[in-house]
Amino acid sequence: MSQYRADVPASNLVKPEIRDYYEHFYAVSDTPDAHQKYAELYTKNAKLIMASNEANGRDGTQRCGNSPHVVEDSRVLRATDGLTEIVKMRHGMWEKVAKRSHKPTKLFSFGGDSDEVMLYGTVDYELKDGRRANVDWSARSHFTHEDGQLKMDFYQVYLVSFCVAKIVLGLTLPRTQQLWHEQSDSSYHELSDFTLQTQYIGYCSTRDFA
């Protein structure tokens, strides 16, 4: 079975066409130069959210945090049908990445015949500087038909590590945030600048967020 084919509940609540869509979607997602092909898997007015970055297909507005702005990238040609910002966001996600490999694990539907689903899995990254990372992720999405094809009109990705979103994916995150980590004595200590737990040593440090 393909690495991109997620397991679904035995009750078969997930529409088969959605399961098939994801199998194709993540294969395209792992293809470095398939920027326009990736964007065309969304509707013209789709909303794509990665960490704190938001791209809206129809109005061409990309948001970083709470501030809307258009991302300038001379390498990106203007795409048609309002897909420009999704294309630009995808270029940013590949800027520091040489290879990546998604492995969707399980796919769940909101209910029988629903167009709203969630799924989770892992993704392996190989960076252009030689470093590697394995990241847990989940995603929420909504589907509709456009021009006779099944497409997403909403897709939001959640990553376990914010530092991976910043360093590996090249997304914009707030400069300073607070994380709380419960110690064995049940006391809490503030962590700043997304300095995370030991499994991310080598990928996260305060200097990465200057």
Q: Which helix (H) or strand (E) holds 150?
A: strand 149-159
Indicate if the pLDDT at residue 178 is higher than 70. Answer: no
Check residues 80 and 160 and name the one with the higher pLDDT: 160
> pLDDT digit string (tens) for 8-31?
998 878 999 999 999 999 999 999
Look at residue 159 in the predicted model and tell me its pLDDT: 83
Q: Where are the domains of the chain?
A: 16-167, 178-209
| Position 208 pLDDT exceeds 90 | no
Instruction: Check residue 41 and give its pLDDT.
Output: 95
Checking if the pLDDT of 199 tops 50, the result is no
Per-residue pLDDT tens for 141-159? 999 999 999 999 999 999 8
Whole-Å CA distances, 186 to 86, 182, 183, 189:
43, 6, 5, 10
Q: Can you tell me the distance from the alpha carbon of 157 to that of 48, in angstroms, rounded to the nearest whole number?
A: 8
pLDDT score of 168: 55
- What's the whole-number average pLDDT of the chain? 74
Q: How confident is the model at residue 200 (pLDDT cuts 50, 70, 90)?
A: very low
What is the enclosing helix (H) or strand (E) of 163? helix 162-167
- Tens of pLDDT, residue by residue over 64-99, are 544 444 443 333 334 334 447 899 899 988 999 999
Please give the pLDDT value at position 173: 44
Closest CA to 197 of 173, 209, 181: 181
Q: Give me the pLDDT at residue 21, please.
A: 98
Judge whether 173 and 194 are in contact, CB under 8 Å: yes
pLDDT tens digits along 115-146: 999 999 999 999 999 999 899 999 999 999 99
Looking at the structure, give the CATH architecture of the domain made up of residues 16-167. Roll (3.10)
Query: How much is the pLDDT for 74?
Result: 33
